[in-house]
Amino acid sequence: MTIREAQLVLADGSVFEGESIGAEPAAGIATGEVVFNTAMSGYQEIITDPSYAGQIITFTYPHIGNYGVNDHDDESRAAFCRGVIVRDLARRHSNYRAEGHLEALLRRRGIPGIAGIDTRRLTRLIRDAGALPGAFGTASEGALLAAARAEPGTDGVDLVAQVTTPTSYVVESERSDRLIVAYDFGIKTTILRHLSTLGRVEVVPAGTSAADVLARDPDGVFLSNGPGDPAMVRSAADQIAHLIGTVPVFGICLGHQLTGLALGAGTIKLPFGHHGANHPVKNLHTDRIEITSQNHNFAVDPDSFAGLGKQVRMTHVNLNDGVCEGLEVVGERCFSVQHHPEAGPGPHDSQYLFAQFDALMSGKVSA
């Protein structure tokens, strides 16, 4: 195998040497906002998660690709991340579920990557400085530095428009008597699998109006995960405001942030976000600690709940940094969480939230 020497250059001038893997980027340069993910497995689900649109994923776990890939674990119809950074790409895979090698998936999906990077040093840098624009590839160091400094990152960019479905589609269910309308802000396949156990799911584009949704007479509305700055999807928040109090609403990740905006709360950008499958979250109703899967750079500001027109309560809190991990609108059958209860990949501690949505749609609880 021919080794293609490559470099990763960050906007602050930091340089990392490695070798090119995956697809060859145009002009030998791939750019994006560099973040790190602390999960020890689930690299295929992470790479195909639309929430990584505009970002380059650094895997902190050093050995990536060892159990291969398979079609079932893809989380979307396409890959929207800008690239991947790994310490060591396994040259051989071994697992009974494997249908191919990770690098073959990267090439098939058009995802460039760089291996041989000191990901420990890189992670420490991002932890201290925050997520940084970066560029990697086989181009010269000067060209990579210029590209990194020209990369806008994810602030103020509508990334949802890049990942949402262009047309509505249906995911069938054995429970054909119930209809769930799911907004696609970057929805994951694993979420759809969970929702389809609760009812027939009609997935609609991010720009769908509340009137269009209500005309379908849904039993519940789901607000999906997705990439980027929630402030850039303000029109969706405006539509969600018309749904709250009319129909049961459940939001995850970006859907949680948009619920906050719809209620009049504010959002903030975190220094380096939460990306991993090991974040401790406390349920404030039960005092139970849940280990959760997370992938977000923005969060709802709980300090903005005071003075809202509706009574909004924080239901979950991140024990690492105090970030709001969940909220509910008292008496309006509306709740949302920042973390991922479908956990693809990750632990299943929070899976009960789908049952909570089920209960709301059945009229068994009124939260």
Catalytic amino acids?
253, 340, 342
Contact (CB, 8 A) for 320 and 279: yes
What's the chain's length in residues?
Answer: 367
The DSSP secondary-structure symbol of 340 reads B
User: CB-based burial of residue 167 (10 Å sphere; 0-12 exposed, 13-18 middle, 19+ buried)?
Assistant: exposed
The CA dihedral of 262, 301, 148, 124, to the nearest 10 degrees, is -150
User: Residue holding tokens 């060859």?
Assistant: 24
Angle between helices 234-243 and 254-263 (to 10 degrees): 70
Contact (CB, 8 A) for 215 and 245: no
Secondary structure of residue 300 in the 3-state scheme: strand
Nearest of 219, 221, 184, 188 to residue 203 by alpha carbon: 184
Pairing of strands 5-10, 132-137: antiparallel
**Token pair for residue 184?**
């696609």
Alpha helices in the chain (DSSP H): 43-47, 102-109, 119-129, 141-150, 160-163, 189-195, 210-215, 234-243, 254-263, 352-362
The DSSP secondary-structure symbol of 227 reads -
**Token pair for residue 97?**
């579920």
Residue 337's region, left for phi above 0, alpha for psi from -120 to 50, else beta, is beta
Nearest of 159, 69, 53 to residue 106 by alpha carbon: 69
**Token pair for residue 329?**
């609108």
> Cα 301 to the chain's mean position, in Å?
19
